[in-house]
Amino acid sequence: MERKVLIIDDDEESLRLYGDILRRAGYSPKTAGTGWEGIDLAVKEQPGLILLDLRLPDITGLTVLETLHTALSTKAIPIIVVSALSNDDNVMKAMQMGAFDYVVKPITYDDLVRRVELVFFSRERQGEGERAPVLVIEDSTADGSSLSEQLVGWGYTVKWVRTGTEGIEQASSGNYDVVLLDGLLPDINGFDVVKQIRSTERLGITPIIMLTVLSGLVDKLKGFESGVDVFLNKPVSWEELRVRMRSLTHLRGMSKQRFQLSEVVSVITNAIELAETTEPRHNQKVASIGVILGKRLGVLGHGLWILEMAGALHDVGKLAIDHRILTKPGKLDAAEWAEVVRHSEFGERIIKPVHGFAEIAEIVRHHHEKIDGSGYPDNLRGDEVSMYVRIVGVADSYEALTSDRPYRPAFARDEALGILRKETEEGRWDPVVIAALTESLDELEHL
């Protein structure tokens, strides 16, 4: 799926900032400065998501929302509304009109990326998310029963307990997609309940919402430290709770899916390792180097995960190459070389059928491309070589140079860097990625 995001905002600074953040997280942002321009672009570009500022110079954000939601070609596009005010009535109106989520300015990197990722993730798994099991820890009978009633009405399965002790016991089973707790419980302080839940969790990914009448900043900070994901003030706004529940169950689903996929990928990496004894831990190391370089270059969230998976799988196609050729100590002849080259395409074919791995499969296909066009299999050049491919390519090359091979011993790190720098002057590598590598050398020592 194309990860196109349309940003409608009249503030140029915001357009630039959000565009930049999204690009780094692996999305392709399109921008519009007015409401009409935004509607136009939405129809033309069919983005996977729209970020809509509620205050626009020509028509209001709510009008844009309404127009997009009534037009046949744009009505299914999820919209996240952006507001500059923390208590904006228009936000709640937008939510009632069907906006997917909202954010309040100033938007942080993590927050924006996480919300955008949730939209794309939940689109890929339409229909799921609700019916999820929720644990409610609330001592007040009135609050507990009205909460449970609402949640059941939205399709969740609810388990309601009244004390912190029972809550911790239930939560430790790991069977809940979201935990909702009152900050003031009769037996244990809410923050301590959260801390204990976090300490018993296996994956540490259960989203926790704390309902509180305390709204002081200090309390919130204490709460975030203990592991609360979202605070909601009592009395609870049902509209807001519903939105938060929806995104948190998706978040839980996303973390779980990524965790499971990563486990499967490490099984495959182990298999490559066993079959291909000449390059110990090569794939794992390329994955780690790719992530380190990506972070230095400002890649975020999903983008880092992509780099990790692509690195871990980049040479999976070697499983389909004759083992005698791969382990041959001397130089390869032309026919043997032609065989080895095919590992990129084999790799792509092995991975491509996995749901959600199309982008990773493409990086695997291209991990031997160079920006001067001298690589394979498609002789891509310049901009055709994506940032991810550039990063994985450098990670792969550096790891290979600094490891023993059947046909030569390992180069020292300075020698390896010297070789890569010379090749960069010849136009093969991206100087920006090589600079990131140079800055990361110490970190790479410990892999």
Q: Which is nearer to Fe ion, 298 or 377 (CB)?
A: 377
Q: How far is the CB of 283 from Fe ion (least distance, A)?
A: 7
Non-local CB neighbours of 387 within 8 Å, separated by 6+ positions: 297, 299
**Residue located via tokens 């989520």:** 101
Which of 358, 286, 278, 290 has its CA nearest to residue 323?
278
**Shortest Å distance, C-beta 416 to Fe ion:** 14
Which region, judged by CB under 5 A, interacts with Fe ion, from 52-60, 112-120, 124-132, 394-402? 394-402
Q: How far is the CB of 75 from Fe ion (least distance, A)?
A: 44
Which tokens go with 247? Answer: 């995104």
Length of the chain: 447
**Span from 92-100, 143-151, 349-357, 395-403 in contact with Fe ion (CB under 5 A):** 395-403
The arrangement of strands across the sheet holding 178-182 comes to: 157-161, 133-137, 178-182, 208-212, 230-233
Residue whose CB is less far from Fe ion, 302 or 314: 314
369 binds Fe ion (CB under 5 A): no
Q: How far is the CB of 279 from Fe ion (least distance, A)?
A: 7
CB of 429 to Fe ion, least distance (A): 15
Residue entry with tokens 């409610």: 136
User: Which residue's CB is nearer to Fe ion, number 53 or number 396?
Assistant: 396
* Closer residue to Fe ion in complex, CB, 346/357: 346
Give the tokens for residue 152: 């059941």
| Shortest distance (Å) from residue 128 CB to Fe ion | 36
Three-state secondary structure call for residue 322 = coil
Q: How far apart are CA 413 and CA 269, in angstroms?
A: 25
Site residues (CB under 5 A) for Fe ion, limited to 15-44: none
- CB of 290: closest distance to Fe ion in angstroms? 11
Kindly tell me which of 315 and 369 has the beta carbon lying closer to Fe ion. Answer: 315
Task: Pick the closer one to Fe ion by CB: 138 or 315.
Answer: 315
Closest distance to Fe ion from the beta carbon of 343 (Å)? 6
CB-wise, 140 or 386, nearer to Fe ion?
386
Distance CA 111, CA 73 (A): 28
Q: Judged by CB under 5 A, which stretch of 122-130, 139-147, 211-219, 388-396 contacts Fe ion?
A: 388-396
What is the C-alpha radius of gyration for the chain, rounded to an integer number of angstroms? Answer: 25
Answer yes or no: are the C-beta atoms of 30 and 4 closer than 8 Å: yes
Write the CB contacts of 157 (distance below 8 Å, at least 6 apart in sequence).
Answer: 131, 132, 133, 134
Minimum distance from residue 389 beta carbon to Fe ion (Å):
12
Residues numbered 151-210 forming contacts with Fe ion, rule: CB under 5 A: none
From CA 158, how far away is CA 127, in angstroms rounded?
Answer: 19
Q: How far apart are CA 90 and CA 99, in angstroms?
A: 11
287, 311 contact by CB (below 8 A): yes
Give, as one character, the DSSP assignment of residue 181. Answer: E
Give the binding-site size for Fe ion (rule: CB under 5 A).
Answer: 2
The single residue among 101, 276, 396, 430 that binds Fe ion, judged by CB under 5 A, is: 396
Q: Which is nearer to Fe ion, 101 or 396 (CB)?
A: 396
CA distance 338 to 361: 21
Rounded (10°) CA dihedral 383, 387, 393, 396: 180
With respect to Fe ion, which residue has the nearer C-beta, 399 or 430? 399
Residues in contact with Fe ion, shown as a per-residue x/- string from 302 to 341 under the rule CB under 5 A = -------------x--------------------------
The CB density around residue 135, as the number of other CB atoms within 10 Å, is 23
The minimum distance between CB 400 and Fe ion, in angstroms, equals: 6
Stretch that binds Fe ion, among 122-130, 236-244, 287-295, 396-404 (CB under 5 A): 396-404
396 versus 430: smaller Cβ distance to Fe ion: 396
Chain residues that interact with Fe ion, rule: CB under 5 A? 315, 396
